Amino acid sequence: MKPTVHDIARCAGVSLATVDRVLNARPGVRGATRERVEQAIVTLGYVRDLAAANLAKGRTYRFAFILPANDNSFMIGLRREVEAAIARSSVERTQIEIIEVPAFDGGALVLALENVLARKPDGVALVAIDAPQVRAVAERLADAGVAVVTLVSDLGASGRHHYAGIDNIAAGRTAANLMGRFLSKVDGRVGLLAGSMLVRDHRERLEGFLSVLSEDFPQVAILPVIEARDDPALAETSIREALRRHVGLNGIYSLGAGNRGLIRALREVDAARRPVVIAHELTASTRKALADGVIDAVLNQDAGHEVRSAIRVLKAKADGLPVLAAQERIRIDIFLKDNLP
């Protein structure tokens, strides 16, 4: 039988009230007594029944999710997943608020975090921009006892308790490996389409991609990076132009979001002369492009998993519990046209 607080009281020879004082770090227990109780807890192997404790406390976890007001499919999907979590909130004892901030705007993010700090929720999840000011506010939040989890894009280990997202260096390296092997011609020329170098995820993908390409596929030439701010229209014109200018362009790695424009530009090219294309995030448009053979591979992060994982971690941090690292690792999904879910 699982030991309860009563068993501890009996084992330590103290009353229930004293056990409660020790367990909940309330004052009014002498050091010697406290140790006796802690000893009893260890010897009996007591673990607090979280369900019963939350019931007694009537606890609800208050969390804030700060999301960029981007209108690309991935961010829309991410928001939808947070909304789905809100719909489950009565069952999960959570109370989640979504805060939208302009995309790629460090100042706005800092302001939003400061507003959150004033309300002192149990935890915050944010799609980070890894600027020093952002990190500073994040640290103040952590100091104030608020659990901080970065989502999708990271902040560096110092600024947060946990990162719920993929390893973007590995993603870039994987893209390069696939690109190198899919390019049958040895004299490949590869173009790169990014969102913004302000966010860490894009920078890391680029870094990983370049390092593997130069190490393992030195014969492949790399063209200058095009930054399109995850904007479909901008991406479309840039790619169309690049395709026209660089006639030997036979590979494109799109490491950001907003692939609708890229795909539109690609569809204008003859199937036989289309470059090998690797993109990120499985959305309606990338899925269709993959099925049609316009895109060759999609690296994906599952927004639903990220949101659910972030909530689990926020809860654990709020309760001072450890997180199961293996369970919370967000994986890089690789989709070819044959393993579309």
Nearer to DNA, 45 or 218 (CB): 45
CA geometry: angle 259, 203, 82, nearest 5 deg: 60
Q: Strand 333-335: give its sheet, edge to edge.
A: 221-227, 189-194, 251-254, 276-280, 297-300, 333-335
Nearest to 65 by CA among 22, 3, 112: 112
20 binding partner (options DNA, its own copies, none; Cβ < 5 to 8 Å by kind) = DNA
209-238: contacts with its own copies (CB under 8 A): 212
Summarize as ranges the residues that interact with DNA (CB under 7 A).
2, 4-6, 13-18, 20-21, 23-24, 27-30, 32-34, 46, 48-49, 52-53, 55-58
What's the CA gap between 52 and 275, in Å, rounded?
59
In angstroms, give the least distance from the CB of 123 to DNA: 18
Nearer to its own copies, 55 or 144 (CB): 55
CA geometry: angle 335, 190, 245, nearest 5 deg: 125
Strand 297-300 relative to strand 333-335, pairing: antiparallel
Using CA of residue 143, residue 144, residue 147, residue 153, what is the dihedral sign? negative
- Segment interacting with its own copies, rule: CB under 8 A, options 18-26, 68-76, 125-133, 167-175: 167-175
Number of H helices, E strands in the chain: 15, 11
Rounded to the nearest angstrom, the gap between the alpha carbon of residue 188 and the centroid of all alpha carbons in its chain is: 33
Structure tokens given for 3: 């030991």
Indicate the residue type of 323.
V
In angstroms, give the least distance from the CB of 57 to DNA: 5
Asked if 83 is part of the footprint of its own copies (rule: CB under 8 A), the reply reads no
173 binding partner (options its own copies, DNA, none; Cβ < 5 to 8 Å by kind) = its own copies
In angstroms, give the least distance from the CB of 147 to DNA: 18
The string of DSSP letters for 145-209 reads T-EEEEESS---GGG-SEEES--HHHHHHHHHHHHHHH--STT-EEEEEES-TTSHHHHHHHHHH
- Segment interacting with its own copies, rule: CB under 8 A, options 174-182, 222-230, 237-245, 261-269: 174-182
Nearer to DNA, 321 or 340 (CB): 321
- In whole angstroms, how far apart are CA 68 and each of 90, 139, 159, 226, 260? 26, 20, 19, 21, 19
Rounded to the nearest angstrom, the gap between the alpha carbon of residue 66 and the centroid of all alpha carbons in its chain is: 12
Tell me the site size for its own copies, rule CB under 8 A: 40
6 binding partner (options DNA, its own copies, none; Cβ < 5 to 8 Å by kind) = DNA
Asked if 42 is part of the footprint of its own copies (rule: CB under 8 A), the reply reads no
Nearer to its own copies, 106 or 304 (CB): 304
Nearer to its own copies, 51 or 272 (CB): 51
Q: Strand 147-151: give its sheet, edge to edge.
A: 94-101, 61-68, 123-126, 147-151, 162-164
In angstroms, give the least distance from the CB of 104 to its own copies: 27
Nearest to 87 by CA among 255, 283, 307, 292: 307
Nearer to its own copies, 104 or 182 (CB): 182
Which of the 8 DSSP states describes residue 269? S
In angstroms, give the least distance from the CB of 331 to its own copies: 6
129 binding partner (options DNA, its own copies, none; Cβ < 5 to 8 Å by kind) = none
Nearer to DNA, 2 or 322 (CB): 2
108 binding partner (options DNA, its own copies, none; Cβ < 5 to 8 Å by kind) = none
Applying CB under 8 A, the residues found at the interface with its own copies are: 2, 47, 49-52, 54-55, 90-91, 167, 170-171, 173-174, 176-178, 181-182, 184, 208, 212, 302, 304-305, 308, 326-327, 329, 331-334, 336-341
